[in-house]
């Protein structure tokens, strides 16, 4: 069994490094597990524990789902939190709405569902997870940073491939190992 997901790799640029650095320094004494920047990605589908022999089927279906998409670009913009400001759990940076990204995601989910793979049924909210909050003592500091970057354009991202990753959980944090790369 391998714990797998399908994603778009994001290579962080200077502006994203600066935003993350500003967040880390502004929230230095907080209980936040920051995402390693080499792990930054946009999740398209999380499949979880999957039999290894099914990865070929997933790969084949993914190739079909990606046909005709072509290369495109995304904009990373703003920061926010998941659950909510009263009980923040995840700090993220957003992805501007993109018809190509939405169509790609829909095609992948439909293709996997058609093949019998059950994917979490939740609305697609493309984002980059920057940190997971364990505890937060200074909520006003988080709010100030969110206000500062609320609508900041951070980085353009070229999208030219979709990757099936294996997620290997370690005490020091997850390792994301590419298994299959599908060029668009």
- Which candidate in 19, 66, 127, 145 is catalytic? 127
Tell me how many domains the chain contains: 1
> What pTM value is reported for the model?
0.93
pLDDT at 97: 95
Give the C-alpha distances (Å, rounded to integers) separating 50 from 82, 106, 166, 176, 180.
27, 21, 10, 15, 14
For this structure, is 127 an active site residue? Answer: yes
Please give the C-alpha separations between residue 79 and each of 2, 42, 88, 97, 148, in angstroms, as whole numbers: 31, 15, 13, 14, 9
Q: Which of 41, 65, 92, 176 is catalytic?
A: 41
CATH of the domain at 114: 3.90.1140.10
| Active site (annotated) includes residue 41 | yes
Residue with structure tokens 């759990």? 89
Q: Which domain holds residue 125?
A: 2-183
Residues of the chain under the 70 pLDDT cut: none
To the nearest 10°, report the CA torsion of 162, 166, 171, 173. Answer: 0
């Amino acid at each position: 069994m391998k714990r797998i997901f399908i994603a778009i790799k994001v290579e962080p640029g200077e502006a994203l490094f600066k935003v993350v650095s500003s967040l880390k320094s502004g929230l230095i004494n907080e209980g936040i597990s920051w995402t390693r920047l080499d792990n930054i990605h946009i999740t398209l589908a999380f499949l979880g524990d999957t039999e290894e022999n099914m990865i070929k089927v997933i790969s084949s279906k993914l190739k079909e789902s990606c046909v005709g998409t072509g290369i495109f670009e995304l904009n990373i913009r703003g920061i926010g939190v998941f659950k909510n400001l009263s009980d923040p759990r995840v700090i993220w940076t957003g992805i501007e709405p993109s018809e190509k990204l939405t169509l790609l995601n829909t095609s992948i989910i439909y293709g996997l569902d058609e093949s019998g793979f059950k994917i979490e049924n939740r609305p697609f909210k493309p984002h980059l997870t920057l940190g997971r909050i364990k505890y937060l003592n200074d909520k006003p500091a988080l709010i100030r940073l969110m206000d500062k970057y609320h609508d900041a354009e951070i980085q353009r991202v070229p999208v030219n491939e979709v990757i099936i990753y294996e997620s290997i959980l370690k005490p020091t944090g997850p390792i994301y190992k590419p298994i299959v790369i599908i060029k668009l």
